[in-house]
Amino acid sequence: MSITRTSAVPNSTGEPAVVRWLLTGIALTFIFLFLIIPVAAVFAEAFARGFAGYVKALKDPLAVSAIKLTLLTAGIAVPLNMLFGVAAAWAIAKFEFPGKNILVSLIDLPFAVSPVIAGLIFVLLYGTYGLLGPWLVKHDIKIIFAVPGIAIATIFVTFPFVARELIPLMQLQANDEEEAATTLGARGWQTFFRITLPNIKWGILYGVILCNARAMGEFGAVSVVSGHIRGQTNTMPLHIEILYNEYNFTAAFAVASLLLMLSLITITLKSLLERRIHQGRYSR
Amino acid sequence: MVRQIIISLFIMAVISGPAVPASAADITLLNVSYDPTRELYQDFNAAFAKYWQSKKGAKVTINQSHGGSGKQARAVIDGLEADVVTLALAYDIDAIQKSNLIAENWHKRLPHNSSPYTSTIVFLVRKGNPKGIMDWNDLIRPGISVITPNPKTSGGARWNYLAAWGYILKQKGGDERQATEFITRLYKNVPVLDSGARGSTITFMERGIGDVLLAWENEALLAIKETGKGNFKIVAPSISILAEPPVAVVDKIVDKRGTRAVAQAYLDYLYTTEGQEIAARNYYRPRMESMAKKYAKQFPKLKLFTIDEVFGGWQKAQKTHFSDGGIFDRIYQPGK
């Protein structure tokens, strides 16, 4: 049976059916055990006390302030990293300059550094006994254990997403169109807005979505610089941990389910975009 | 398209607005506390705000931050602007004092060494006490799994350790050598060290690891209340340590923020009848005689010794047992 099928439709791997079924089965079992059941469990626990309990948990003032802070943090970190990402990718893909390789490596640094260390870096820098501490204390500027510190830590952690997404894309597109525009008399900014930007808009969006997902979900770095003041410096992930530690499982999972829904929306958008990007590439 | 995204992100940021809505006229205090006091201060803050409103006609909002006691002290030293600290042990407030944020005589500024309530260390065992754990010497039996947090980061864990050590010294002919041997065997039975008391409670109760949890008495009583009676049982050992969690106004911060009067009143209020009753209702042992009598029934009866009496104070205990290269470092090898 399997032999006839193989000969009729030659399959690229040439593995027997048993192996194929086994591999598929293992993959599906893993997906079920490690992805689907846990996600379902979060929602099951979130609704353990009914829909009213779910809504009540999300309407709690502390939960609301955590949600607001998370949105605010993402609202600061994502646009800034988008600007940086476009600038960096543009510079790296379209120009030659000394130190380019170092810049490319440095952009990846936040991916390589553990978030806890990322947080501690800012305590070392902005803490009372940190490098800039005495100056900040003198001028009564609060960075860590306040919203600016959380934003800075989030920016650091989500730094590479947009740039990393754009660099290969822009390198792939080469400079032909920009050169053509320049020959036709376009100035630098004109070239950028008319040629470069339209070419990379889907890539930017893709990077922004990933950046946003991480910005909202970041725990480690934010935990170090937050100070955990309820209603003030607790983001959603930190709030979830606190609720869990207070035996308040329903509320913890209600907030968790909200964060999870944001992630699900993110991956849906992401896969839609992926299709769009591929179509764009091939239609050109 | 891209511009729209930028605009919508900015709108989002503006709408969500500042996360701190308090108007300038309102007074806010920040109480930086340790792990198991969440429920206590939730009640107490509401009561104090009411009291302050009726007395001064001013609104006061108290913000809370909780975490391992040592970690919290570290955050205050690094710049977390606490008006008051309510930590698990005096050593952690001493650490803040050493960075000149608190006056040197802080522990004499309020009655009872600045500890408005006390607690002790008890055992929490599973339903029916299947391993028959009755006292400290049962903990070192082979095959008993003991859950306690890491004394390096957790205040509660340090009280646990010192309670076990004191138990041996209080036995007839008990000496340091025997205590070292006892504590070595005890920590051989510890499968995992969480970083804080609440983490250990969750490990024991939710993850189902271990035969016995060494816990704050208040934490154990609360845990039983939260998870329903019957699944767990408190066992009071023959003798334990009198844990005195201290409180202090952070002088440098209140002077800078102009909140000294209200911060002082906040801590004083802990010593009033109402404050003591809230502490007792949250399973802390009140200092006030009348309240202690009223709530005597909810606390197990056991002999208690103080840290000054057995260890000569926190500075000495910390140096001997928990500093780098101290006895704990020598006796504890992870994973063995």
Q: Where are the alpha helices (DSSP H) in chain B?
A: 2-16, 38-56, 69-77, 90-98, 111-114, 155-169, 176-188, 197-205, 217-227, 251-257, 260-269, 273-281, 289-294, 307-311, 314-317, 327-331
Which chain B residues are closer than 8 Å to A75 by Cβ? 9-10, 12-13, 16
pLDDT computed for residue B229 by the predictor: 67
Which H or E run contains B147? strand B146-147
Per-residue DSSP letters for B218-283? HHHHHHHHHH-TTSEEEE--SEEEEE---EEE-HHHHHHHT-HHHHHHHHHHTTSHHHHHHHHHTT
The mean pLDDT of B301-324, rounded to a whole number, is 91
A47 CB-side CA count, 13 A: 6
Residue B223 pLDDT class (50, 70, 90 cuts): confident
* Least Cα separation, residue B199 to chain A (angstroms): 7
| Residues of chain A in Cβ contact (below 8 Å) with chain B | 65, 68-69, 71-72, 75-76, 78-79, 82, 123, 126-130, 133, 137, 140, 142, 144-145, 147, 197, 201, 204-205, 208, 227-233, 242, 244-247
| Three-state secondary-structure class, residue B189 | coil
- The ipTM of this complex is 0.71
- As a whole number of angstroms, the distance between CA A270 and CA A278 comes to 12
A208 and B67: CB-CB below 8 Å?
no
**Confidence (pTM):** 0.79
Secondary element (H or E) of residue A236: helix A236-245
pLDDT tens per residue across span B248-258: 999 999 999 99
Average per-residue pLDDT in chain B?
A: 88
| pLDDT tens-digit readout, B24-37 | 457 999 999 998 89
pLDDT band of A13, cuts 50, 70, 90 = low
Q: How confident is the model at residue B20 (pLDDT cuts 50, 70, 90)?
A: very low
Residue A229 carries which DSSP code?
B
CB B148 within 8 A of CB B122: no
Please, what is the average pLDDT of chain A?
A: 85
Taking alpha carbons only, the member of A209, A193, A221, A178 closest to residue A276 is A209
User: Residue B222 is encoded by which pair of tokens?
Assistant: 């609360």
Closest CA to B244 of B164, B327, B313: B313
CB B104 within 8 A of CB B97: yes
Lowest model confidence (mean pLDDT) among A67-81, A237-251, B75-89, B264-278: A237-251
Segment A98-107 shows an average pLDDT of 87
Task: Say how far apart CA B38 and CA A246 lie, in whole Å.
Answer: 8
HSE at residue A136, side-chain half, CA atoms within 13 A, is 21
Name which of B2, B66, B80 is nearest A145 (Cβ-Cβ): B80
What confidence category does residue A1 fall into, taking pLDDT thresholds of 50, 70 and 90? Answer: very low
The answer to whether A75 contacts B10, with C-beta atoms less than 8 Å apart, is yes
Q: What is the pLDDT of residue B206?
A: 83
Higher pLDDT, A264 or B11: A264
Q: Average pLDDT in the B199-218 region? A: 90
Please give the pLDDT value at position B163: 95
Instruction: Judge: B2–A76 Cβ closer than 8 Å, yes or no.
Output: no
Tokens found for residue B26: 């309102």
Contact residues, chain B to chain A, C-beta under 8 Å: 1-2, 5-6, 9-10, 12-13, 16-20, 30, 35, 38-39, 63-67, 75, 77-81, 99, 198-199, 202, 223, 226-227, 256
- The pairing of strands B117-126 and B285-286 is antiparallel
Partner residue facing B13 (CB), from A75, A123, A233:
A75
Interface A-B: count of C-beta contacts within 8 A? 90
Contact check, Cβ <8 Å, A227/B65: yes
CA distance B276 to chain A (A): 22
In the predicted model, is pLDDT for residue A280 greater than 70?
A: no
Among the partner residues B16, B19, B75, nearest to A227 by beta-carbon distance: B75
Say whether B16 and A227 touch across the interface (CB within 8 A). no
DSSP state of B146: E
Asked if the Cβ–Cβ distance from A201 to B66 is below 8 Å, we say no
Give the residue from chain A lying closest to B16, CA to CA: A68
Mean pLDDT throughout A64-82?
Answer: 93
Chain position carrying tokens 């955050």: B75
